Structure 1
Amino acid sequence: MDMEIEQEGNYNKPKKLKNFMSIKTLLILIYCIFLSVGQISGVLLVRIYYLHGGKRKWLQSSLLTAGFPIFILPIYISYVKKKTNNNNIRFFVTPKLAIFSAILGILFGICSYLYTIGASYLPVSISSLLSSTSLAFTVIFAYFMVKHKFTHYSVNAVVLMMLGSIILGLHMNGDRPIGESNGQYTLGFVMTIIGAALHGFINAGVEYSHVKAGVVVTFDLVMQIQFLISMFSSLFCIVAMIINKDFQAITRETEEFGLGQRKYYMILALTAISLQSMMIGCLGMIYCSSALLFGIVNALLVPIQQIFSVIFLPESFNSDKWMALAMCLWGFASYFYGEYKDNMTNKVTKTKHATLPDQV
């Protein structure tokens, strides 16, 4: 009798595991959609803001996480539901994870500011290529922080993406916007690279915080982490806005905005929605999978951003950008193939171990 119950329990374990994996895959797909829509539309809207007279960099930085209060409702509903069901499972994040979230939130605020400087001076076709190097930095930091192994494919991806950035740096004068000095263009270039490096560190840091916290990843946990990181990032940017007197300058900026006051506020609102969507997708993918998967998807979105920037913005796509894009895609393909090969090797190894007869 006991043996039958034990066998039935063992039979149900693979089914439960399969259901868990299918839910996890669905969540990753949803987060991927959030990331794609938010990143493509958000970057275009930020550039439109600057092209038509916008100058507030800390204001744009704050929009990345300004929508964090939207997390309160689903977190509250989930809490009430678990309390009603008398669920004794820990609901709120641990103090250690909360501290990690606060640090990562401040770093996100700094990273957003660096990217904003780049977006204010660089065309989208350039800034998106440079920001895609965050995958290379993620690979490097993930190796040191969460012990992801270096492979020939990952090293190849890092080198190719760096070479693409160097090509853009050596031939950057040909695509400088009218009225923009060489110093401003160079500043935007350098700040975007530094932002990509910090972004890579943050991606690995989010995964590191989860590993060190030693907690099971659940939907509730991901929502709370996103809320905390977004809140601290927003608070950091708001303090900077107060110091920089951005709130007093908004009224004047709306009057001078090239598309009019109504469209000024509309662009800010849509930018906040888009960037918050991107933030949800970013953190969700890292917690449900890994920082490296997020980096791969982020790099894959680059050519799509290039197409939209040429269609909707006054930008060209010259031979240097084509070469840099080719290197970016080559690096992405190399890394993706390496990950695919490793996964197939691990599956074959597990299958062999599973088919070996039990030793007596």
Structure 2
Amino acid sequence: MVKSRDEPDRDPKIQPPSYRVLGFVYVSIGVLVAVNSFLYTLGILYLPVSTYSLICATQLAFNALFSFFLNSQKFTPYIINSLVLLTISSTLLVFNPESSSNNSTTANPTSKSSYMIGFISTVSAAAVYGLCLSLTQLAFRKVVKQETFKAVLEMLIYQYFVATCVIFIGLFASGDWKHLNQEMKDFKLGKLSYVMTLTWSAITWGLFSVGAVGLIFEVSALFSNSICTVGLTVIPVLATVFFHDRMDGIKVISMVLAIWGFISYIYQHYLDDIELRKKTSRMVSGSEKSDYDAK
């Protein structure tokens, strides 16, 4: 339920959490974000863009599962239908013959094991992402307890600062930093394009994160994830146009099921909104009647 903007930003009756508790929350979620980023990177390394994006749609199913246990999310027939369709949608991609496609960026594009590594990594990343969203909502409700814009920014800044530190440690510990200069030189579009790609990727991902956490702040983690998922169904089409990925029958069926699953969830949200408006209308009518009787 969206808060009224006339409400005060901070309830004086609620004691702010200790810095130790907040630090534990930010560090825990930040580490999960770093792990999530690594798994997503490993997935896109071994999978074509269109296959990768469709597998990412499973994050909604994982998010719903975690929301059930962590955020007391209620399941309805439409939400269950959505989860089933999205699960089937991603499972179909296991049988995708694209594991032998020349679109793979691995050294051995015909390797079935490489395709499975990419598949498992991407599914795991989707699960971790769903967990991060549910934990963020839980942190707002149980720890922060003050859903203010400042709290949203602090949640973003601190957890991503921790994630950045973890990624930098991994970068230098693995020795991959030694290859960055050569990677920049080998970039087909040139060094400037390499830097601009990284810069704009960081900026757009930051904007996406603000929007995602903002939706958690306003509604719920599951709603935030459902909005994000709709964009994933468009990526295979764009990948076909710009990266010349092959749109075969399995992908088409998978994409249709993913869209169907998303629409099913949105329809449930629409029904919930109608029911909420009816309850609000009855409460207002009852209040006005009580005021009239009192007079």
**TM-score grouping bracket, smaller chain normalisation:** 0.7 to 0.9
Q: What residue in structure 2 maps to residue 270 of structure 1?
A: 200
Provide TM-score, normalisation by structure 1.
0.71
Q: Deviations over 1:221-275 (max 9, x none)?
A: 1111111011000011111111111221112222333333332223222222222
Equivalent residue letter for 1:322: V
Q: Deviations over 1:143-168 (max 9, x none)?
A: 10010111111111111101011111
1:308 Cα shift? 2.2
Contact 1:138 1:200 in 2 (8 A): yes
Separation (CA, whole Å) in 1 of partners of 2:76 and 2:41:
33
Inter-CA distance 93–123: structure 2 relative to 1 (3 Å threshold): farther
Q: What residue in structure 1 maps to residue 67 of structure 2?
A: 142
Q: Deviations over 1:11-70 (max 9, x none)?
A: xxxxxx75449xx9xxxxxxxxxxxxxxxxxxxxxxxxxxxxxxxxxxxxxxxxxxxxxx
1:322 aligned onto 2:247? no
1:195 aligned onto 2:125? yes
Q: Which has the higher contact order (CA 8 A, sep 6+)?
A: 1
Consecutive unaligned residues in structure 1, runs of 5 or more? 1-16, 25-87
1:251 aligned onto 2:176? no
1:133 aligned onto 2:58? yes
1:321 Cα shift? 0.9
Separation (CA, whole Å) in 2 of partners of 1:317 and 1:286:
34
Inter-CA distance 18–240: structure 2 relative to 1 (3 Å threshold): closer
1:114 aligned onto 2:45? no
Match of 1:210 among 136, 140, 145: 140
Separation (CA, whole Å) in 2 of partners of 1:174 and 1:190:
13
Contact 2:48 2:245 in 1 (8 A): yes
Match of 2:77 among 152, 167, 173: 152
Contact 2:99 2:115 in 1 (8 A): no
Match of 1:222 among 149, 152, 157: 152
Q: What residue in structure 2 maps to residue 292 of structure 1?
A: 222
Percent identity between matched residues is 24
Equivalent residue letter for 1:260: G
Contact 2:187 2:194 in 1 (8 A): yes
Contact 2:17 2:144 in 1 (8 A): no
Contact 2:54 2:232 in 1 (8 A): yes
Separation (CA, whole Å) in 2 of partners of 1:89 and 1:341:
34
Separation (CA, whole Å) in 1 of partners of 2:5 and 2:140:
22
Inter-CA distance 252–174: structure 2 relative to 1 (3 Å threshold): closer
Separation (CA, whole Å) in 2 of partners of 1:176 and 1:329:
25
Q: What residue in structure 2 maps to residue 334 of structure 1?
A: 264
Contact 2:79 2:265 in 1 (8 A): yes
Consecutive unaligned residues in structure 2, runs of 5 or more? none
Equivalent residue letter for 2:247: F
Inter-CA distance 231–338: structure 2 relative to 1 (3 Å threshold): same
Separation (CA, whole Å) in 2 of partners of 1:93 and 1:338:
35
Q: What residue in structure 1 maps to residue 101 of structure 2?
A: 176
Measured on the aligned residues, the alpha-carbon RMSD in Å equals 2.5
Q: What residue in structure 2 maps to residue 97 of structure 1?
A: 22
Secondary structure at the counterpart of residue 301 of structure 1: helix
Q: Deviations over 1:158-205 (max 9, x none)?
A: 111010111111224366335412211111111100110111111100
Inter-CA distance 235–105: structure 2 relative to 1 (3 Å threshold): same
Aligned residue runs from structure 1 range 3-82, under 5 A: 19-20=5-6
1:93 Cα shift? 7.2
Separation (CA, whole Å) in 1 of partners of 2:203 and 2:101:
29
Separation (CA, whole Å) in 1 of partners of 2:115 and 2:99:
11
1:287 Cα shift? 2.1
Contact 1:176 1:185 in 2 (8 A): no
Separation (CA, whole Å) in 2 of partners of 1:93 and 1:249:
43
Q: Deviations over 1:293-317 (max 9, x none)?
A: 2111111112322232222212122
1:166 aligned onto 2:96? no
Secondary structure at the counterpart of residue 234 of structure 2: helix
Separation (CA, whole Å) in 1 of partners of 2:217 and 2:101:
38
Aligned residue runs from structure 1 range 337-356, under 5 A: 337-356=267-286
Contact 1:206 1:287 in 2 (8 A): no
Secondary structure at the counterpart of residue 128 of structure 2: helix
Q: Deviations over 1:123-158 (max 9, x none)?
A: 221111111111111111111001011111111111
Contact 1:93 1:221 in 2 (8 A): no
